[in-house]
């Protein structure tokens, strides 16, 4: 879908080198495409024409870990999983986890405001990133690399760089607040008969698991079948129309187990959950997580995947999948839904043997209109990138889009930073 | 210190009225001063000359409470405590609490990015505010009132209005993510002999109380003496050089009590804590909290208070108080420190019988230089307002300040919104 024709790829090692590159490119009006782990799903990190690619892969140094405050300062090219392993030695964890952790960069996570599997517990990067150093299009370095949890001195500029997908500046360093690593982790895999039961079980998990609830994920039958058929992974329970993964993380294993048992007894006695299993050992936890994390990969074997990442108010959450399935009928192989139900974030995926323009035109803009009608978001955590920029008006007002364009103009007057991304074509 | 001479105060009831007022004022180049509960400590909500005051007091409607997601939408003039009581009926809590809760507005909290007593647990408003509706200087309404937990569609403009103290727009409505209200709350009041013990006890609280730690506050002897002498409140323990308040909030009272007992046994056996008491009943919890929350009020009885609100890396935290005390010698009545040690946020207060310019000149800019040297923040949670705007360069670089000025220019070209606030004089 997205393929550029760049002839130059640069790999700076320092902020000064990024500054020198941008200063040169800005003077010569050369467009650049900043690239982290290149794991984005909306074409945000892929050049469109002949942009100069600036890869952050060599800027992978951890600068400091403050074990008093839990604040970590690092360069933006650190791979998420490697950074998490690094801070684990200090009893900390990166407050972000997602399927692409083995290759995505923390700077890319920040630039795209990645959400992931534990936003429910640890909140968004707008809350946990304390400081950012970024280079503007002009080459000017903006130092907002505060390591303080509270710093109300003027406009909090770091938020301009969080989620703007490299179109307002290139993030070179960041400070992130890392919580203590939990000593006890449990994972329940549940089977449910109706979507109403899913919603009620989420509500019960919030009230009965309270502060130890660290993830609440949803998988429909069609998604699980895809993982089973295409990747030969085995479900630990019998087939059900709906599944949930509920993870707890805490500081006292006995307490957590007791809370989880109380919760499970409640939802099974009430009949909301008709089958389930609990994993405590790391290898079983890993296996169950792979059923959720590898769905995207399993879809590839079907042929072509039309991928959507949408926020929807919970009462409408699964209705969208049902409506799309009915709307598309037999023209497709699969229409399935899974995702972060605790955050109201649905990953809706549709597959066909190969890419068909006609199928796409039946999906879009219908799916975005549907989302706008229930006041959802047409991109929950993936961003707009190249692929979704022209649908922005389904989630943002003309006034807001106008203000975004003005900000782009003052921060990147020549438009060299990641062009054709985020903002709509004129 | 700050007193204007306004002859007009307007009390709009709707966003449309705010829009009409600003549109008129912008056309006629009339400066306005937006005012919430008027509880700020840096003169941000007080007119400087003859600004038109726009009071948000009548915009106090709660529009919706979504009990599935915990998201509340309300007008900006809701009083924090009233809003918290409202959401309590749905089993939720506002993720923000501070001494001024009885009169401050949630819109003022958002506009100043208030921190408060539980940021340690629930994070900053940049994380928990999901959407903002604001009116620009031109009268244009910017609708970014998303209620979704994840919404990555373009630049996240709401952050421009969080913490910009009404200088970029007036917040009229907001959506905030409210966590479940804890069913069990405990509060420990501890006495300690050294500041090293305070730091070690904070670290132990994080590891032993884990996910139920909801507040970690610090009070020095001089602060507690002030509350005892000036307000006749009684400390529950014998005099100590340092005190800590450690609060837990959770979903299971027995588990929380067990964790708290394990923690207390540990810190008392190790000798870090030499006296302490635990409160579980609401009235005793309230009394102990008042020892911390009423310090600011008690200082007033000394005469004049020079107030500072600073973020400092933990190893340097109390050294600042000691250095300032030594530096000021006998020219003052009291130099005391208390605050949110869990967030590295020190409230340093100095009193004298009456305001003396000479004392002020011995405090400032020394205190800001000291803070900048250890890479702290000269305003942790109070903002810059009128009083601290010209010290911004101690915490922000010239490049960052330049970018702030450009943003102000595009969003408020005539400079009518809360002039003489936040940004430094030219």
**Position B1 pLDDT exceeds 90:** no
The CATH number for A184-295, chosen from 3.40.50.720, 3.40.50.2300, 3.30.70.2190, 3.40.718.10, is 3.30.70.2190
Give the pLDDT score at B203: 96
CATH number for the region B62-177 comes to 3.30.465.10
CB atoms under 10 Å from CB of A29, counted, come to: 9
Assigned token pair, B423: 């940004």
Chain A residues lying within 8 Å of B155, measured CB to CB: 160, 163-164, 168, 404, 407, 422
Closest CA to B56 of B74, B72, B41: B74
The H or E element containing residue A144 is: strand A141-144
Chain B residues lying within 8 Å of A423, measured CB to CB: 154
Give the pLDDT score at A360: 97
Closest CA to A230 of A294, A298, A293, A287: A298
Assigned token pair, B295: 């310090």
* Topology annotation, domain B302-383: Alpha-Beta Plaits (3.30.70)
Which one of A108, A151, A375 makes the best mutation probe of the B interface by having the most chain B beta carbons within 10 Å? A151
Count how many pairs of residues, chain A against chain B, have C-beta atoms within 8 Å.
272
Nearest-angstrom CA–CA distance, B382 and B108: 11
Closest CA to B291 of B229, B371, B345, B342: B229
Q: Would the CB atoms of B149 and A119 count as touching at under 8 Å?
A: yes
Chain A CA closest to residue B150: A380
Nearest-angstrom CA–CA distance, A199 and A233: 26
Q: How far is CA A252 from CA A69, A183, B10, B207, B209, in A?
A: 21, 7, 54, 10, 9
Give the pLDDT score at A262: 97
Cβ contacts of residue A227 below 8 Å, gap of 6+? A233, A291, A294, A295, A298
State the nearest Cα–Cα gap between A322 and chain B, in angstroms: 21
Chain B residues lying within 8 Å of A160, measured CB to CB: 155, 159
Instruction: Please state which architecture CATH assigns to domain A302-395.
Output: 2-Layer Sandwich (3.30)
Assigned token pair, B241: 């050089």
Chain B residues lying within 8 Å of A403, measured CB to CB: 136, 142, 157, 410-411
Residues A216, A306 contacting (CB under 8 angstroms)? no
Assigned token pair, A382: 């993936």
Count how many Cα atoms sit within 13 Å of the Cα of residue B237 in the half-sphere of its side chain.
22
Q: Would the CB atoms of B210 and A376 count as touching at under 8 Å?
A: no
HEC secondary structure over B296-348: HHHHHCCCEEEEEEEECCHHHCCHHHHHHHHHHHHHCCEEEEEEEHHHCEEEE
Across the range B25-34, mean pLDDT stands at: 98
Q: Would the CB atoms of A211 and B400 count as touching at under 8 Å?
A: no
Nearest-angstrom CA–CA distance, A178 and A170: 23
Chain B residues lying within 8 Å of A344, measured CB to CB: 69, 148-150
Count how many Cα atoms sit within 13 Å of the Cα of residue B312 in the half-sphere of its side chain.
26
Residues B50, B60 contacting (CB under 8 angstroms)? no
Vertex A304: Cα angle to A303 and A305 (nearest 5)? 125
Mind listing the pLDDT tens digit of every residue in chain A (426 residues)?
Answer: 788 999 999 999 999 999 999 999 999 999 999 999 999 999 999 999 999 999 999 999 999 999 999 999 999 999 999 999 999 999 999 999 999 999 999 999 999 999 999 999 999 999 999 999 999 999 999 999 999 999 999 999 999 999 999 999 999 999 999 999 999 999 999 999 999 999 999 999 999 999 999 999 999 999 999 999 999 999 999 999 999 999 999 999 999 999 999 999 999 999 999 999 999 999 999 999 999 999 999 999 999 999 999 999 999 999 999 999 999 999 999 999 999 999 999 999 999 999 999 999 999 999 999 999 999 999 999 999 999 999 999 999 999 999 999 999 999 999 999 999 999 998
Q: Would the CB atoms of A343 and B149 count as touching at under 8 Å?
A: yes
Vertex A339: Cα angle to A337 and A340 (nearest 5)? 145
Nearest-angstrom CA–CA distance, A117 and B23: 44
Chain A CA closest to residue B384: A153
Chain A CA closest to residue B132: A400
Chain A residues lying within 8 Å of B205, measured CB to CB: none
Q: How far apart are the first and last CA of chain A?
A: 22
Chain B residues lying within 8 Å of A69, measured CB to CB: 313-314, 344
Chain A CA closest to residue B149: A343
Across the range B239-268, mean pLDDT stands at: 97
Tens-digit pLDDT profile for residues B179-230: 999 999 999 999 999 999 999 999 999 999 999 999 999 999 999 999 999 9
Q: Would the CB atoms of B124 and A149 count as touching at under 8 Å?
A: yes
Same topology between domain A62-177 and domain A302-395:
no
Of B153, B163, B210, the CB nearest to A379: B153
Closest CA to A175 of A99, A106, A120, A108: A106
Chain A CA closest to residue B405: A155
Chain A CA closest to residue B177: A123
Numbers of helices and strands, H then E, in chain A:
15, 15
By residue count, chain A amounts to 426
Q: Give the distance from CA B76 to its chain's centroid.
A: 17
B217 φ, ψ (degrees, to nearest 5): -115, 155
Q: Give the distance from CA A415 to its chain's centroid.
A: 26
Cβ contacts of residue B91 below 8 Å, gap of 6+? A207, B67, B180, B181
Vertex A389: Cα angle to A100 and A421 (nearest 5)? 70
Nearest-angstrom CA–CA distance, A312 and B149: 10
| Farthest-apart Cα atoms in chain B, separation | 69
Share of chain B above pLDDT 70, in %: 100
Q: Would the CB atoms of A258 and B259 count as touching at under 8 Å?
A: no
Of B115, B128, B140, the CB nearest to A150: B115
Vertex B33: Cα angle to A400 and A148 (nearest 5)? 70
Chain A CA closest to residue B375: A146
Q: What is the DSSP string of B213-268?
A: EEEEEEEEHHHHHHHHHHH----SS---SEEEEEEEEES-HHHHHHHHHHHHHHHH
The residue extents of the domains of chain A are 62-177, 184-295, 302-395
**Position B325 pLDDT exceeds 80:** yes
Residue B426 pLDDT level (bands cut at 50, 70, 90):
confident
Give the pLDDT score at B213: 98
Residues B153, A381 contacting (CB under 8 angstroms)? no
Q: Would the CB atoms of B344 and A69 count as touching at under 8 Å?
A: yes
Task: Write down the ipTM of this complex.
Answer: 0.97
Which residue has 């989620």 as its token pair?
A163
Nearest-angstrom CA–CA distance, B153 and A226: 29
Q: How far is CA A109 from CA A114, A310, B114, B346, in A?
A: 5, 18, 26, 32
Nearest-angstrom CA–CA distance, B177 and B144: 15
**Position B174 pLDDT exceeds 80:** yes
Closest CA to A308 of A326, A322, A320, A298: A320
Give the pLDDT score at B382: 97
Cβ contacts of residue B211 below 8 Å, gap of 6+? A182, A211, A212, A249, A250, A251, B250
Residue B377 pLDDT level (bands cut at 50, 70, 90):
very high
Residue B2 pLDDT level (bands cut at 50, 70, 90):
confident
Of B147, B203, B400, the CB nearest to A143: B400
Nearest-angstrom CA–CA distance, B75 and B79: 10
Q: Would the CB atoms of A377 and B163 count as touching at under 8 Å?
A: no
Residues A135, A24 contacting (CB under 8 angstroms)? no
Which one of B41, B123, B150 makes the best mutation probe of the A interface by having the most chain A beta carbons within 10 Å? B150
Closest CA to B158 of B71, B169, B138: B169
Which one of A115, A128, A149 makes the best mutation probe of the B interface by having the most chain B beta carbons within 10 Å? A149
Give the pLDDT score at A1: 77
Of A141, A148, A211, the CB nearest to B212: A211
B43 φ, ψ (degrees, to nearest 5): 75, 20
Residues B163, B112 contacting (CB under 8 angstroms)? yes
Give the pLDDT score at B279: 95
Nearest-angstrom CA–CA distance, B62 and B17: 18
Give the pLDDT score at A426: 83
Vertex A153: Cα angle to A150 and A156 (nearest 5)? 80
Residue B324 pLDDT level (bands cut at 50, 70, 90):
very high
């Amino acid at each position: 879908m997205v393929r550029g024709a760049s002839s130059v790829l640069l790999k700076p090692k320092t902020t000064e080198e990024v500054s020198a590159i941008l200063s040169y490119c800005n003077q010569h009006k050369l467009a650049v495409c900043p690239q982290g782990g290149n794991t984005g799903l909306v074409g945000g990190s892929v050049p469109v024409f002949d942009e100069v690619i600036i890869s952050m892969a060599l800027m992978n140094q951890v600068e400091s870990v403050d074990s008093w405050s839990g604040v970590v300062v690092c360069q933006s090219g650190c791979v998420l999983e490697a950074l998490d392993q690094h801070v684990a030695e200090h009893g900390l964890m990166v407050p972000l986890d997602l399927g692409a952790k083995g290759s995505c960069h923390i700077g890319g996570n920040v630039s795209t405001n990645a959400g992931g599997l534990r936003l429910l517990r640890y909140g968004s990067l707008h809350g946990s990133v304390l400081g950012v150093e970024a280079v503007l299009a002009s080459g000017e370095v903006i130092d907002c690399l505060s390591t303080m949890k509270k710093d109300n001195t003027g406009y909090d500029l770091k938020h301009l760089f969080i989620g703007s997908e490299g179109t307002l500046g290139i993030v070179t360093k960041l400070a992130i607040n890392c919580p203590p690593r939990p000593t006890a982790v449990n994972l329940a895999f549940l089977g449910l008969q109706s979507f109403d039961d899913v919603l009620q079980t989420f509500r019960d998990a919030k009230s009965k698991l309270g502060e130890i609830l660290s993830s609440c994920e949803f998988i429909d039958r069609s998604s699980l079948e895809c993982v089973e058929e295409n990747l030969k992974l085995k479900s630990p329970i019998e087939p059900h129309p709906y599944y949930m993964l509920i993870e707890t993380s805490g500081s006292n294993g006995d307490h957590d187990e007791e809370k989880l048992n109380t919760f499970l007894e409640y939802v099974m006695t009430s009949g909301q959950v008709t089958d389930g299993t609990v994993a405590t050992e790391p290898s079983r936890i890993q296996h169950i997580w792979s059923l959720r994390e590898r769905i995207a990969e399993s879809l590839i074997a079907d042929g072509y995947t039309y991928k959507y990442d949408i926020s929807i108010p919970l009462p409408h959450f699964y209705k969208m999948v049902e409506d799309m399935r009915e709307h598309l009928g037999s023209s497709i192989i699969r229409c399935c839904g899974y995702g972060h139900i605790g955050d109201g974030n649905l990953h809706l995926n549709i597959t066909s043997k190969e890419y068909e323009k006609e199928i796409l035109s039946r999906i879009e803009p219908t799916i975005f209109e549907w989302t706008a009608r229930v006041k959802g978001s047409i991109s929950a955590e993936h961003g707009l990138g190249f692929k979704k920029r022209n649908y922005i008006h389904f989630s943002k007002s003309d006034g807001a889009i106008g203000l975004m364009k003005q900000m782009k103009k003052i921060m990147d007057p020549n438009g060299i930073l990641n062009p054709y991304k985020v903002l709509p074509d004129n």
